[in-house]
Amino acid sequence: MCKDRVEEFDTPHEPKTKTAEQALNALMRLCSKAEKSSGDALRLMYRWGVPIAERQGVLDKLVEMRFIDDARYAEAYTREKSQLAGWGARKIAQNLYQKGVSKDIVAKTLAMLESDDQRAMLEKRLQRKLPTIKATTDYERRGKLLRYALSLGYDYDMVISVIDTLLRE
């Protein structure tokens, strides 16, 4: 009896495919709950097995009905990642490109970020990180702070300036 149960889980399943209409309805439900980019929608349709010829039509309908708006998505994503996650402009831009947002929209959205706000966020993050760093020399401490700040996506010149200020104190 247990053998039958194992075989049930062992058999390969056919990948589920959705029609364009099913994908449209599913994406409308998803987009009404949370912002999605056009790249997110295309990736989901690919995973669902929606025929290639029909994907663009579904996407066009979603944009027309304002379920998907890459500019609105980019603004919300940028606001969330800069204020809540403490990311810098470079990391935000890279992630937006991966989400399928166009370079024009990314550039306009990142122009909204204030340099002073970014600097204040970086100072706050580095002040929190400084006591946790295990380093024997200032050179080592500086290197670890630099790598950490760059991994958050902040500009190199800003990072150096903030680190210099922190280590002088």
DSSP at 15 = P
The pLDDT value given to residue 76: 93
The answer on 75 and 30 residing in a single domain is no
Residue 119 lies in domain? 115-169
The pLDDT value given to residue 2: 46
Q: Which of 7, 33, 68 is the last residue of a domain?
A: 68
* Measured distance CA(144)–CA(3) in Å, rounded: 54
The pLDDT value given to residue 168: 87
Instruction: Let me know if residue 14 belongs to a domain.
Output: no
The answer on 103 and 124 residing in a single domain is no
The answer on 78 and 59 residing in a single domain is no
Residues 35 and 95: beta-carbon distance below 8 Å: no
The answer on 130 and 162 residing in a single domain is yes
Instruction: Let me know if residue 38 belongs to a domain.
Output: yes
What is the reported pTM?
A: 0.81
- Count of domains observed in the chain: 3
The pLDDT value given to residue 18: 85
Instruction: Let me know if residue 3 belongs to a domain.
Output: no
The answer on 102 and 83 residing in a single domain is yes
pLDDT tens across the length of the chain (169 residues): 444 444 444 445 556 788 889 999 999 999 999 999 999 999 999 999 999 889 999 999 999 999 999 999 999 999 999 989 999 999 999 999 999 999 999 999 999 888 888 999 999 999 999 999 998 898 999 999 999 999 999 999 999 999 999 988 7
The answer on 76 and 62 residing in a single domain is no
The answer on 34 and 60 residing in a single domain is yes
The pLDDT value given to residue 13: 52
The pLDDT value given to residue 44: 92
Nearest to 128 by CA among 94, 91, 162: 162
